[in-house]
Structures are given as C-alpha cells and as structure tokens.
Chain A
Amino acid sequence: MMLREDRSPRRYEAALKVRGAARFTAEIPVASMLHAALVLSPLPSGRVGRIDAGEALALPGIVRVLTHAEMPRIDRPGVLIPLQGPDVHHAGQPVALVAATTPAAARRGAASVEVAYERRPAILNLADGEPFAPKTAGRTATDSRRGDPETALRQAEVAIGRRYTTATNNHHPMEPQCVTAQWDGERLTVLTTTQAVFAHRLAIAECFGLRPEDVRIVSHYLGGGFGAKGGAWFPHLVMAIAAARVLGRPLRLELTREQMFTLTGRRQETVQDLKLGATKDGRLTAIVHESLAPTSMFGEYADALATVTRVLHACPNVATRQRLARVNAPQPNPARAPGEGPGSFALESALDELAYELDLDPLELRLRNIAAHDQHVDLPWSSNGLRECYRAGAASFGWARRPMRPGSLREGHQAIGIGMAAACYPAYRMASEAAVGIGADGRVKVRCGTQDMGSGTYTVLAQLAAEALGMSYAEVDVELGDSLLPEGPYSGGSMATASFTPAVETAARDLRGRLLALASADAASPLAGIAPERMSIADGMIRSGNRSEPVSELVARRAPQGLEARAGAAPEARPDFSAFGFGAVFAEVRVDSDLGEVRVSRLTAAYAAGRILNPLLARSQFVGGLIWGVGMALHEATVMDPHLGRVVGTSLADYLIPVHADMPAFDIHMVEEDEPRLGSGGVKGIGMLGTVGTAAAIANAVFHATGRRVRDLPIRVEHLLRPD
C-alpha cells in the first residue's frame, strides 16, 4: 500500500530552519561566558610531563590554562574524561584547556601551550591487538549459537567462506558539538548538542555528586547527531562542565571540525569472516559469522555486527562470534545503523556470492530463505513484511529484467550493474513520559524531554497529539529538548518515536476524556448532560448529534489556566514476540569500465517498518539512511597513519561524504503494517533501516557490472582497475 506523502503535515520547525532562525547550541549567548580551546596530544600513547603555559597566559584575552593538575577528580569508569590524569591513550586526546574571553583568543592560547611528553609504546593497528570477547555487542549478546554450524558447513552441498572489511567512519553531523556550562552554586545548567537530555542529566549529576533535579540539560535544535552526540560526546561535555566549575564562570566549548575526527566517536573498522552452507536448491544450512573490530585502550564498545546474521534469513545452524582488540585510537561508538550496517555488508555480499555459486537469482535465493519466525530467540515475529518488500521493490525496480551474467549491461564506456540486499533492524523501545495540555486559547501543547536531531520528532509529537485529540496539527505547540520536561527517550537506536508514541497517545486520550467529561458536566455547555462516549472531537469542535462547542470555549470557561494530562509508557519486560523492521534495497550502478569510477544511478527500496506516522518525513529518513549506505560503500574512510597513530586528513575535503552530484534517483516504498501487539502504538523505528544492506546492494551491483567482487569498503577506483 502506498502512503500519500503529499498529504503529510510539513516539518513542524521547517519555517524556522529555512529562515536560519532556529537557534542551535553555539548560538545561545550566556552572560560573562568564557570560551575554551583544547590542547591535544600529538602522540597516541604516552604521559604528559611539564606543561608550559607561560607564553599562552601572556597573550591578550587568556584567562586560564587548565591541565589535569587543576581539574577536580571525576570517577567514571569505562570512559576517558580528559584532563583527569597524565596518561595519553590516543592522538588527539585533550591534555589542556585554555579559557579566554573570545574563541579566537582561546585558539591562539592553545597553540602557544608547550607540552612535554614521555612517549610510550602504542598499538596502532587492529592486527597488532590482542582479541578478546566484549561483554556485549551493542545491545546484543557477543556470541550466539544454534544447531551445529560446523558440521552443517562440512556437509553442505555448496559452501563458501569469504573475508570482508569495512573502514573506520566518522559521523560528522553538520553542526559541531558544543557545550555551554553554567554553574549556580550546586545547580548546573548545560546547553549542549545532545541526543539524550535525560541520560546526560543523570550521568552528569553522578559525575559531580549533584541531585539530578539540580541539573538542567537543554538542546532545542540539533544539527544532526547520528550517534556522535550521545555517549561519545559525554566525556568532553563533562570536561567542559568541570572546567567551568574551576573557572567560576560560564564556559563554552565548541569543537572544530578537525576535533570531530577524534573526540566524538567513530564507527569502528571491521574484519568479518563469513561462511555459508546451502543445499543445491538454495536453502541455507549453515552460517558462521566471525568478526574483529577495534576498541580503545580505556573503553569497550562493540557494534552489533551479527544482529542481521542471526535473524534475517532462515537457517537452522548459525554461529556468530564478535571480538575486539585494543588500539591506541579514539573510542568507537554507535554510528547510524551501528553493526547492522557493516555486518549486513558482509552477510548480504556473501548471499550474493552464494547465489552465483548456485547459479540462482539473488532475489530468488532470499525468497527461498524467508524466516517464518525469529530463530535466534525462537519467538514469532510481531510481523515480518520482508516478502512484500521483496515483491514491491523488485517490481518497481524492474529486477525481473536483470540478466544473471555479470558484465551483461553496457552503455558506451559504462558497465551497468544491478544488485540487491535485504535489511532488518530491531524495534527497540525505552520508557518515556509525555504531557499533553490545552490552554484557554485553544492551543495544544505537547511536552516531552526528548530531542530532535533532524529526524522529525517535533513533527510527529505534534501530529500524535493532534490526531488523538481531534485538533488540527497547526494548533499544536511542541516543547522538547529540555530536562525540565517530562522524561523522554534518547534519540538513538531508532527508538525515540516508538518510545514516546504510546505516552503521547495515552496522555492525549486522557486529556480528551477529561475535556468530554467537563463538557458533559458543564451546564453552560451546549453538550451538558450528554454522555462523553457519545461525543467526538474533530477540527477543534466537540460534537454530539447537532450540538457542538469549540474546545477552546469550553477550556476558557471551565479551565482558564488550562488542562494537562501526563502519561508514561514502558516496554514489555518479556514480550512473547520478536519485533523487527524489514526492507529490501535494489541498486543500479554505473562503472566506468576503463577508469573504475563507480556512481550509483538508482536506488529502490521497500520497507516494512510498522506504523508510519508521516510518510513525507519517513521518506526523508529512509533516503537519508540510504545515502549513508552510499557513503559507506563508496566514499567514507577515516584513515589512520600506521606509524604515527594520527588521523590522516582531518577536514571534510579529506573525509568524503556523498555530495549532490553523487545522488542516485530514489524510489521508496513503504509497506504499511498493522502491529496491534507492539506496545509502541505500532511504531517500529525507521532511522537506521535505510543504512542496512545498502552497501552490500551497491557492492553486489558493482560485481554485476564488472565481474569484480569487492569485499573491502569503501570501493575505490583501484579495486576495479584490471586488464580487460
């Protein structure tokens, strides 16, 4: 079923943003604020010795230079809060903070601080690290096993084993991270770029021994996040807050783009070994997926590389194993479709390779292995729309016309290839509260302490309240991004919308009930005496039969201070089903057969991801996710010098993300699902799904165009140069 995008409400805050009037964190002044700049270690491993700030302090505008010697101790295991000690664990780690009256003065000061280091041995390459099993992989178990995959592989009629690698990526939201910290005795106000006002409130309160209610976190507009404004930003946020306390003045720290390569997390590189066994007619009999990825010397984070492998395709014998090795590099953290993105590159590339081993159409191979239930946890699906995604995507793309043989399609110098992949992403939820109120002016207000990274949170909050109340979208105001609001979910794991939707709908229904009861009981209302269940609200009017009254008049008369209802919702402790969003992505690429340049010309994708609240914005989210897949496939790589342990190329001219000219024609299909069992109001989350499978679909298309199987991302011209 096609959803009508043209009837979708437009983005709630769009007018503000196109005017340039939405105030981002770095644009909110605080009186008597100082500006911070950081002195960074050039060494990947060592110990800070003497720090000479004399020259810096002599410069105009410099107020103070803070090092680990002056900073209060903060006990927070597992993260590296800078300036807590002399040890250096990665190049780019802050070793001093310069506070000055202007940003330019602070930067000049930072450039003038002289730091002596004792150099220590470093592990700079993943291959040199010692593999170990992390406690978890993302939100999932590190290893898994069902059946007997080793025996099944040995006995398989067809078996393949391949190694795939993916590059380190950086998130690079367009807005750099920023914090302005303001202390007032034991109370703290933090304006910052955060994907989690409440999680950061709690963690910051813990770091500084404060009561959570004495900490206020504000983040009204976020210029993108993608994972870089959550836990990865937290240590530097804490550093700035601590510095503000020492300075006794409000302090702003705004990162430079260069610092966003080392201080805000990264998608870890991966080495993945995939073994598949199958029958000759294309039924999977075994999957073994083993991976290695780096983590830092101080923290432990593993992307959930195996999630997709465990559930996407039916297979009785599956083993997955995820290992980390420590290197002297910045701490990796989740980036859009963490794990599921790189993991699906390996799995869905291997599926394509198996299809060619079997001489079976890659889509047909997948159709023969649709999982009837979630075999990993042995539970039924809440729903699984994968078959419909395959059908809708293939039909729209014209997959049936694809010749099987690689190198079949040409136009002049261009070899044309088409490939596909499947996708899934777990439907996560967390607890959330929300409040929905109405004022005497008839305007509805939704309040929820979540954030909008650009994903459409303002819009869907307003829509949910308007629909549940029977008011119009234009009559709703939204407040979010403030820890003074009811506690909302963090923006990550594609879970914000699924988390707050039931809370907002419950609150709105409660408010609606109270309004109707008020009308029923109010002698002055034309609706007096009518049972509430015989009334309806539409377009701001309460109606029953031929009697009606505007909601605003009722509220003005009976509740001049306004009415508000609050509600909370939390996920089921042990659901008796498994919930995932599914998708199928079809890619057409054009490869210059002499020069090796790859361009994606078409991307068709079909998604079954539960209830879609706003088809227009959902399409934007899916397209955004797909573009991240294009970047992962063809452009993005954070390059580390193998000897210096430094990032080589620290600008957006070095770290390539796709530009307008790289864009394919997009064709997005949304398969609407009825999900009555999901406590999320049927919402599954969509932000990650577009990035799953996409890189594999593109790599598979490159194989189809050229006959060259590229197993290392990003795909570059050198992968495709070979004698004709």
Chain B
Amino acid sequence: MTDSSRQRVALALAINGRRHRVTIEPSTTLLDLLRDELGLFGTKKGCDMGACGACTVLVDGRRINACLALAVMQEGRDVQTIEGLAEGEALHPLQQAFVEHDALQCGYCTPGQIMSALGLIGEGRATDAAGIAEQMSGNLCRCGAHPNIVAAIAAYAGA
C-alpha cells in the first residue's frame, strides 16, 4: 500500500521495551504508526490535533501527544504505551487505582489519562489534587470522570 510516490523511510525504535523496525511514509504520525501499522489500538485518536490528549504516550519518559509527532522523528527513542503497563494478568497499580475509583466511563480517554498521569508523576508534579488537575488538563474527558481520575492519581501517587 503506497500512498504516494514519496520516499519511504526506515525507522527503528523501541515500543514498550521491544525493538521495532518499520518502513513508513515520512508523513506518518507516531499515533498512526502505533494504530495503523502496529495494531496498538490502546493509544486513542480523539481529535488528531493535540487538543484532547487521548493519544498521550511517553517518549523517553516524557508525555507527548502522539498525533502531533512524526514517527520518523522518534528514531532510536523509547516509546511507552498503555499496552506496556500491565504485567500479564496483573494491572499496573495506577490502572488498578482507576478501576477502584471508577475513574473511567466510556474508556476512550482512559489510556491517555493513565499515560499522562504516569508522565506527571515522573515530572514530580503530582503533589496535591489541585496541582494534579492543572497538570492533567491536557487530557479531556467528555463523560465527566474528572474527579475520580484525579482521586485515582492522587491515591497512586500518595498525594
């Protein structure tokens, strides 16, 4: 399947600790690489314009919007997605906190919320509920799970 006469480019990167080598169109976003090329559908496409956060992943530990990143620019990087969190049957404790606090309804924004929260905790900013809410504001939710999301993050982070 070729979309254009453009060059295709080789790309090597790690996703959830596993090395991947792919050949892609340069215009492929990281989000489309994950979903369309690799079948990793846990990372969601909510707006494709960086305005909803549903596609949040960690690249070298930092949370970014995968829809606003070119895949080819992630050469050599370490990408973490929602699929990399649970250990077999055992949920990651933050995932478990989301279940316990009913921090999801439709579940479409949920992977992005969880990855964003992990990024936030890595940044050392999950200090109190108000701070968590401010720093999580790049992740929209339309069902209205917000207070439970913040409660789940605070419980996991010990804030």
Contact = CB atoms under 8 A, between A and B. Distances in A.
Interface in B28-47: 32, 35-36, 41-47
Contacts of B47: 257, 651-652
Contact of A626 (B43, B44, B51, B144): B144
Contact of A20 (B50, B81, B137): B81
B140 A18 contact: no
Nearest to B108: A223
A105 interface: yes
Interface string B93-108: 0011011101011111
Nearest to A459: B102
A666 interface: yes
A10 B133 CA distance: 23
Contacts of B35: 27
Nearest to B107: A17
Grouping DSSP codes into helix (H, G, I), strand (E, B) and loop, the B interface class, with mixed when no group exceeds half, is loop
A616 B146 contact: no
B51 A453 contact: no
Given A18-B95, A657-B140, A175 B3 contact: no
A17 B5 CA distance: 39
Interface residues of B, number: 62
A595 interface: no
Interface residues of A, number: 64
A454 interface: yes
Name the residue among B5, B50, B147 with the largest chain A CB count within 10 angstroms.
B147
A174 B106 contact: yes
A23 B107 CA distance: 10
Given A104-B25, A623-B144, A59 B107 contact: no
Contacts of B142: 171-174, 224, 226, 657
Interface string A47-83: 0000000000001110000000000000000000000
Interface in A603-639: 616-617, 619-621, 623-628
Nearest to A619: B102
Contact of A652 (B51, B96, B105): B51
B104 A17 contact: yes
Nearest to B105: A454
B111 interface: yes
Interface stretch (B7-15, B69-77, B82-90): B82-90
B159 interface: no
Given A19-B82, A257-B49, A623-B144, A660 B106 contact: no
A627 B146 contact: yes
Contacts of B139: 660
A22 interface: yes
Interface string B132-146: 111011111111111
A472 interface: no
Contacts of A226: 142
A18 B108 contact: no
Interface in A1-37: 10-11, 13-24, 26-27
Contacts of B51: 257, 651-653
B78 interface: no
Name the residue among A176, A221, A226 with the largest chain B CB count within 10 angstroms.
A176
A102 interface: yes
A102 B45 contact: no
Contacts of B50: 653
A663 B106 contact: no
Given A653-B49, A653-B50, 11 more contacts: A13-B107, A18-B104, A19-B42, A20-B83, A24-B108, A61-B1, A173-B106, A257-B51, A454-B105, A625-B144, A660-B136
22 contacts: A15-B95, A17-B107, A18-B104, A18-B107, A19-B85, A20-B44, A21-B42, A24-B41, A24-B108, A173-B106, A174-B109, A223-B44, A256-B48, A257-B47, A257-B51, A454-B104, A454-B143, A456-B105, A652-B49, A659-B140, A661-B134, A663-B133
Interface of B: 1-5, 25, 27, 32, 35-36, 41-52, 54, 81-83, 85-86, 91, 95-96, 98-100, 102, 104-111, 114, 132-134, 136-150
